[in-house]
Structure 1
């Protein structure tokens, strides 16, 4: 009798965020599932803007939990932890968490005398990808562990310095506001110039000179950006405005590495229409997005505004900027002019490129409880996890073949939308629904859907109906997308059609098609594609 080997037989895929089997309590007192250490660290890492508190945890408590998990796994599972940190700074696009993690990784392994796994020097270098980050890592290390720098830290930072330091980076990041200037870092790590960059020796010497002897430091002729910048800075204030308004003004500013922040101080006056129009061509996409209000206030021309709109909505620029989707929602909410609405709508759409077009019927539940509204996602954002959840849930519903979109808290209700609507329009229909009764929301709205996806912080208080994922038949996949990284989940994960993933970008959606094609979903840095 053929019990197993038949046409209906299908491999049961697994995912990596895994429950241990222990039942614990959520922060709100509801029943939840413990996750293993790797799963807990992954979910915390991809949702953690360091020092930002949530409704249930202070920023300090979250940082301590993050550091403790990194230190534990750096010794017990160094290859996995190094892979997480490298990915976190790269595709994960979380700078501070990766820098803190790399420092704690090295400290734990030095304390334990561990020599297996990836080299400490390599891990430090892997997370330093912007010229200000060597100083950030050194500031963190010395504030925690004193001014004595272990050799792996010195060498990893030196590797990054050779890769990252150039004339433009010195102008932008080597400022008096920094505790560690470029010259200080060079003194500490003794970085040798890259032999393939013959100008870098002069750059290093100039960085040292301008730090220790600023009155006599001489700009090397081998560094044309610095020469051009010096020449502009030497102009009398009365002549500076003529540079901005001249025919070659924009090119001269770009050649001298003038950022809009530097230009504002250099002009010793307001950033008016002419100033913005001269510097806009050399501004990056996200600098443009952050200054849309300033452009309107100064009255930049429609022609220049069209150039800005084209750049911020260009798919390649959106991909290159590697910004989280909620950044575009923030810009949309704060931009005063309608001329930016459509470009920002396009940019948001491009930033959600990984959201899959799921077949069949999909139930999407978006957590709009009080804890999701309580804290900002980062110190530079007015948005919160409720906003992020609405973005991702709406994008998924709009792209799916047939979806029901539901918001939930203490109560729950459908969010209406039409095919072809923009994410931004639909988001305006979400509200604040108080407490968190995930289980009842699933019970009320599940109607033989082919899958259920819950975007949430998983901190349900109501346990009288049991695990929210148990309200769905075992053969139907339930995907929980965790946006907060708390230690206890609302249901099991890792197998049996119950899967959890997390993060603040659309990249997490890659798991869904993999699992539905009966493929195991590995950690993001280990996925073949």
Structure 2
């Protein structure tokens, strides 16, 4: 009699974040499942705001674990690690983690005299995508390893300098608050100007003069932005506000590359409504979103506010800004005026455009335990609990039939209606104490076609059992890990048990792959679904 080779037999798809079969304890003392090094690094990388403390790990311990994993895999699996770092800075938009990772990657490979795989120079260049980042990487390298910067690091940075340095970037990022100014970077890496940019040689010379002889440095006459900026800076202070409020003020500020950060200092006075209204046309969507409260406090007119609302909620602007969904929640929580609520709701929806529309019945469990309430970073008032709730509510409202549940020590269903505001649904979530994932699954699983758990996976010793064991083996369980701790709450990578990290388009696509019966690969290796 056939036991395995039956008509019902079919292979189950696999996913990349995999456990090893070995167990340990979570930070709360519950049973934890160890992941392989690649899986541990991936989940840590997509959740790691470098130098920032989490609920269970200090910033230094977390950063040491990250650096150790990068150095290990840079030598053992260079192609995979280089792919992770490039994707981390690109699609995942994790700036500091990718920069630190690239530096540690190169250091480990130089120490090991490794020559296989992607070049160190290319890896450095792959993570530097903003003009201030060459200085950031040099500051990290020299603080960790001294001023002897190796050639691959210099050459990778030089490639980026040629690509990113221009007049506007000089004005925006070459400020006195930086330890490594543009001129310092140029002195260290000695880039050759791009032959396709005949103006770049003059720009480099000006950046050096601006660093070493600021009182006498004169911008090249060929650069309209720098000359216009010099003219503005030469105006007497008492005449500057008239420029802002007069005809063509907004155009003149834009032509001179005047940022909103620099405008208050230039005016040497408050940022009133007129000042904001003059600089708003040249601000990007991300800067606009961060300053909604400032616009209200200054009394920006309803007409200008309507223009801001249209810009921050435009689908193309949301896609270009690459902001995480929870950024719009943070803006909603801190902007007092109701005139921003609907635009932020639209923007949030666009940022979640690739959340899968799941068929059948779905159980969505959102972790609201105490450890989830730690802020995402020292500079953020938003926490993982709310980030989890944003994602869980969005998935529920897009699914054909979903039960949305919050859990901690206890658990409760969260009511919602199709077409309702995600931001309003979030107001129904609470703080539920410990992490009893197992009991939440037992209580709320009722023959659903799949289960999604958004969590930090830190189950307590009080609550025995692997929560995924409560669900039949033929029902897929997807865990979204938002913290990147070492141990997981159950096995993953096989047998209909899958763990993802990061709220990115690539993570969302994995569900579609797995449910179509196809194996899911690392995000930077995925083919289009």
The aligned counterpart of 2:417 is: 418
Q: Deviation per CA, 1:221-245: give whole Å up to 9, x if none.
A: 1211000100111111222122112
Q: Which moved more, 1:66-75 or 1:16-25?
A: 16-25
Query: Distance between the aligned counterparts of 1:469 and 1:65, measured in 2?
Result: 27
Describe how 1:463-482 pairs up with structure 2 within 5 A.
465-482=464-481
User: Is this contact kept in 2: 1:15–1:520, CA < 8 A?
Assistant: yes
The aligned counterpart of 1:162 is: 162
The aligned counterpart of 2:291 is: 291
The aligned counterpart of 2:445 is: 446
Q: Is 1:334 paired with 2:340? A: no
Describe how 1:78-477 pairs up with structure 2 within 5 A.
78-373=78-373, 375-462=374-461, 465-477=464-476
Structure 1 residue 446, shift from structure 2 partner: 0.4
Query: Distance between the aligned counterparts of 1:169 and 1:155, measured in 2?
Result: 20
- Give 4+ residue runs of structure 1 displaced > 2 Å after superposition: 1-11, 462-465, 504-507
User: Is this contact kept in 1: 2:91–2:504, CA < 8 A?
Assistant: no
Query: Distance between the aligned counterparts of 1:196 and 1:9, measured in 2?
Result: 60
The aligned counterpart of 2:516 is: 517
Q: Secondary structure at the match of 2:21?
A: strand
Query: Distance between the aligned counterparts of 2:377 and 2:134, measured in 1?
Result: 22
Q: Secondary structure at the match of 2:429?
A: coil
- TM-score normalized with structure 1 length: 0.98
Query: Distance between the aligned counterparts of 2:21 and 2:249, measured in 1?
Result: 65
Structure 1 residue 215, shift from structure 2 partner: 1.8
Q: Deviation per CA, 1:255-287: give whole Å up to 9, x if none.
A: 100001111111111111111111100000111
- CA 1:463 to 1:298, structure 2 compared with 1: closer, same or farther past 3 Å? closer
Q: Deviation per CA, 1:7-55: give whole Å up to 9, x if none.
A: 6443311000011000111111111111000000000000000011111
User: Is this contact kept in 2: 1:285–1:317, CA < 8 A?
Assistant: yes
User: Is this contact kept in 2: 1:477–1:498, CA < 8 A?
Assistant: yes
Gap runs ≥5 in structure 2: none
Gap runs ≥5 in structure 1: none
Q: Secondary structure at the match of 1:357?
A: coil
Q: Deviation per CA, 1:102-141: give whole Å up to 9, x if none.
A: 0000000000000000000000010000000000000000
Query: Distance between the aligned counterparts of 1:493 and 1:186, measured in 2?
Result: 47
The aligned counterpart of 2:42 is: 42
Query: Distance between the aligned counterparts of 1:169 and 1:356, measured in 2?
Result: 38
Query: Distance between the aligned counterparts of 1:33 and 1:251, measured in 2?
Result: 58
Query: When the two structures are aligned, how many residues end up with a matched partner?
Result: 528
User: Is this contact kept in 2: 1:325–1:505, CA < 8 A?
Assistant: no
Structure 1 residue 505, shift from structure 2 partner: 3.9
Q: Deviation per CA, 1:165-216: give whole Å up to 9, x if none.
A: 0000000000100000000110000011000000000000000011111122
RMSD: 1.2
Query: Distance between the aligned counterparts of 2:35 and 2:206, measured in 1?
Result: 51
Describe how 1:495-514 pairs up with structure 2 within 5 A.
495-505=494-504, 507-514=506-513
Q: Secondary structure at the match of 1:395?
A: helix
Query: Distance between the aligned counterparts of 1:525 and 1:99, measured in 2?
Result: 17
Query: Distance between the aligned counterparts of 2:211 and 2:360, measured in 1?
Result: 63
User: Is this contact kept in 1: 2:436–2:463, CA < 8 A?
Assistant: no
User: Is this contact kept in 2: 1:326–1:391, CA < 8 A?
Assistant: yes
Query: Distance between the aligned counterparts of 2:22 and 2:391, measured in 1?
Result: 30
Query: Distance between the aligned counterparts of 2:347 and 2:339, measured in 1?
Result: 14
Query: Distance between the aligned counterparts of 1:274 and 1:486, measured in 2?
Result: 48
Query: Distance between the aligned counterparts of 1:294 and 1:372, measured in 2?
Result: 29
Structure 1 residue 219, shift from structure 2 partner: 1.1
User: Is this contact kept in 2: 1:440–1:465, CA < 8 A?
Assistant: no
User: Is this contact kept in 2: 1:241–1:267, CA < 8 A?
Assistant: yes
Query: Distance between the aligned counterparts of 2:462 and 2:23, measured in 1?
Result: 12
Structure 1 residue 509, shift from structure 2 partner: 1.7
Structure 1 residue 6, shift from structure 2 partner: 6.3
Structure 1 residue 504, shift from structure 2 partner: 4.0
Q: Deviation per CA, 1:383-425: give whole Å up to 9, x if none.
A: 1110111011111111110000111111111111111111101
Query: Distance between the aligned counterparts of 1:505 and 1:345, measured in 2?
Result: 18
Query: Distance between the aligned counterparts of 2:270 and 2:354, measured in 1?
Result: 41
Structure 1 residue 3, shift from structure 2 partner: 6.7
